[in-house]
Structure 1
Amino acid sequence: MTNVDVHQHLWTGSFVAALRARTEPPFLDGWTLHTAGEPPYEVSPADHDITRRTEQAVADGLGRALISLSSPLGVEWLPSAEARPLLDAYHQDAAELPRPFGAWAAAGVRDIDAKTTAGYLDLGFAGLQLPANALADAAGYERCAPLLDLLATRDLPLFIHPGPAADIDPRPGWWPAMVPYVQQMHAAWFAFRAFGRPRHPHLRVCFALLAGLAPLHGERFAARAGAEGHRETDPDVFVETSSYGPRAVESMVRALGTSTIVQGTDRPYADPPQTPGHGLGGAAAYAFRITNPRRLLTGEGGGAG
C-alpha cells in the first residue's frame, strides 16, 4: 500500500538556473526570489536539496510525493517565449526525480499550447496543474478548454493551485497566503461547479488548500442557488489538506464526507500533520493518504498499491 502526498514543491537545478537567467519577475538573484506581486523572498537552499527532501519523504512514510510548479511565481502567465524556457527546465528535471517523487505537469495559460503540454505529459506526469486565477470564470474555462480536453482524453486529473497574488502595498508578509490565495481557491471551486463541470463532465479535479474552505459555504449556496445548491457532492472533485489542521479538516469532512479529501502538505512551506488523518482516526488516515489519492490519480477505487 502506498501513502501519497499530492502537493509538494521542489526546485531542481535546471529550474533554478532558468530563474537566475531572467532579469524580470519571476527571477532569482542568488537565492532571493523576486515576483511581480509579492515582496522579495529568501529561499532556503536546503528546502530544495533533492537528497534531503528524498530522506524527508521516506521518513514521512510516503510511497509517492507529487511535485508541482510554484504557480504564484506567475510562470504560467508569461508570454510563451518567456514561459517556455522555465517550463522546459521544470519538466526536464521533474521527470527524472528519484522515487518516491512524481510530478504534476504545468502549462502556459496566456498562450494555450495543448501540443506542447501533451509532450510534457508523455514524460509520465501524474496530471496537469493550472493556476486558480486561470479558472475563475467562464472565459477562463473557454480559454483553457484545449488543456482540459487533453486531460479528459488521457483520463488524467487536474490540480488547481493558487496563482500569482495581486501587488498590494503595504501589507504583512503573510497576506498573499491568507487573502488572495484563499480567495482564488474559493472562486475556482464555484467556477468549476458553474462552468467547468458542464464543459468537462468526467474530469477528475483536486483543489489545493481545501479549496479555500469554499465547501463550508454550502448552506449559503443552498439558500441562494436553490436546487443547484442542493446537488449531491461530486465524487470526482477532491480537496487536499495543505496548511490546515484538525479543525478545518473535520469541518470539511462534515461538508463533503471523507471520500474526496486527500493528503497534501505543501512542503517545504508547511509540515505534514503530526496525527495521520488529522486526528479523525485510522479509517480517515487510510482514506486521505491511500484510497482517495488512488481514485484521484487513476480513477480506480480500493486501496493504493
Structure 2
Amino acid sequence: MRVDCHQHLWPPALVTALRKRDAMPYMRDWTLYLAGENLYPVDPAAHDVELRRAAERMDRVLVSLSSPLGIEHAPDGAELIDIWHESALALPDPYHLWAAASVAAPDGPALARVLREERVAGLQLPATALDSPDALDRVAPLLDILERAGKPLLVHPGPAPAEPGELPDWWPALVPYVAQMHRSWMAWHVTGRKSHPTLRIAFVALAGLAPLHHERLAARGGPAFTADPNVFYETSSYRTDAIAALARVVGPAAVVHGSDRPYAEPLDPMAFHEAYFTANPSRLLR
C-alpha cells in the first residue's frame, strides 16, 4: 500500500465555518486572511473532494488541518477542530486524517475519543506548540494520551508571525516555517524522547533539515545525535538533494513520503525508494 502521509483538503463545512469568522483565521469568498501571511487566493478546485480523489494515485492519503491557520492556538479554536473532525471523518477513501487538538485549551477526553476512530491515523500538532522544552511540558498531557493510544504524532509548521513591511508570498514557507521545524526538532531531541519513550513522531518537511546540523550541535556542546527508530521525516516540498542528504544522516528507513498537496506535488515512486511510500509509513502508522 502506497501512502501519502501529508495532504490538506478542506471539507465544505470547514470552509463555511472559516467564512463565518471575523477574527483570523477567516475567509471571504475564496480569499484566506492570516495575520502573518499575504492574502491567499485559495483555488476552489484544490479543495474539491471529487476532483482531488479522481487525480489521486496513492492507496491511502492522510489529510490534516492546516496548522498555519493558527486554529490550534486560537482561544475559540475548539469549535473549528470539532468541525474538522466531523467533516474529515466523512471524507471517502482513500482519505484518512490526522486529528487536531487545541493547545490554547487542551481537552484530553475529546482527543482520546477521536483517537479511537479507525480512520484517525494519529495527532497533528503545530511546531509552534513544541518549540522548546517548556512547550513540550505544556502539551505533555496530550502526548501522554496519544502514546497510550499507540498512534503517532505529526509535527507541522504553525502560524507565521506578523512582520513589518512587504514580504514575498513564499517567505513564510522558507523562513518561519523552517525555523519552527528546527526548534521543535531540537526540543524533541533534548527532552521529548526522555518524557515519551515509545511515542512515534514524524516531522513535516524533513524537520527543516535540522538533523543535518548534528555536527554543529556537537561542536557547541549539545547532546549527541543518534538515529531514533521511532522518529520519522516527511518529505513535503523537498526533492532529491535534500532527501538524499537527510537519509545519509538519519537512515533511509526514517523517511516517509508526504506531498503537502495542494501546495506541492507528490514524489514520483519510480524515482525514489519504494520504502518511502510503503514500508516506512507502515512502521510509522502501524
Report TM bin, short chain.
Answer: over 0.9
CA distance in 2 between partners of 1:4 and 1:129 (Å): 17
CA distance in 2 between partners of 1:222 and 1:84 (Å): 41
Q: Which residue of 1 aligns with 2:150?
A: 155
Q: Which residue of 2 aligns with 1:204?
A: 200
TM-score by length of 1: 0.91
Counterpart of 2:279 in structure 1: which amino acid?
T
Q: Which residue of 1 aligns with 2:275?
A: 287
SS at match of 1:234: coil
Q: Which runs of 4+ in 1 moved over 3 A?
A: none
CA distance in 2 between partners of 1:202 and 1:127 (Å): 14
CA distance in 2 between partners of 1:256 and 1:84 (Å): 36
The counterpart of 1:169, out of the listed 151, 164, 167, is 164
Matched, 1:146 2:141: yes
Counterpart of 2:243 in structure 1: which amino acid?
V
CA distance in 1 between partners of 2:186 and 2:164 (Å): 28
Matches within 5 A, 1:31-50: 31-50=30-49
CA distance in 2 between partners of 1:134 and 1:186 (Å): 13
SS at match of 2:266: coil
The counterpart of 1:193, out of the listed 181, 189, 212, is 189
**Percent identity (aligned):** 48
Q: Which residue of 2 aligns with 1:216?
A: 212
Superposed displacement of residue 25, structure 1? 0.5
Superposed displacement of residue 112, structure 1? 1.3
Q: Which residue of 2 aligns with 1:107?
A: 101
Q: Which residue of 1 aligns with 2:269?
A: 276
Unaligned runs of 5+ in 2: none
Count of residue pairs brought into register by the alignment: 284
CA distance in 2 between partners of 1:21 and 1:132 (Å): 27
Matches within 5 A, 1:1-305: 2-57=1-56, 60=57, 62-79=58-75, 82-124=76-118, 125-170=120-165, 171-225=167-221, 228-229=223-224, 231-273=225-267, 275-276=268-269, 279-280=271-272, 284=273, 286-298=274-286
Counterpart of 1:98 in structure 2: which amino acid?
P
CA distance in 2 between partners of 1:224 and 1:169 (Å): 32
CA distance in 2 between partners of 1:95 and 1:267 (Å): 19
Deviations, residues 154-178 of structure 1 (Å, cap 9, x unaligned): 1100000000001113211111000
CA distance in 2 between partners of 1:192 and 1:198 (Å): 9
Unaligned runs of 5+ in 1: 299-305
CA distance in 2 between partners of 1:150 and 1:94 (Å): 21
SS at match of 1:76: coil
On the 8 A contact 1:131/1:162 being kept in 2, the answer is: yes
Counterpart of 1:166 in structure 2: which amino acid?
P
CA distance in 1 between partners of 2:221 and 2:126 (Å): 26
CA distance in 2 between partners of 1:233 and 1:122 (Å): 30
On the 8 A contact 2:78/2:101 being kept in 1, the answer is: no
On the 8 A contact 1:112/1:143 being kept in 2, the answer is: no
Counterpart of 1:51 in structure 2: which amino acid?
E
Deviations, residues 4-34 of structure 1 (Å, cap 9, x unaligned): 0000000001111111110110001011101
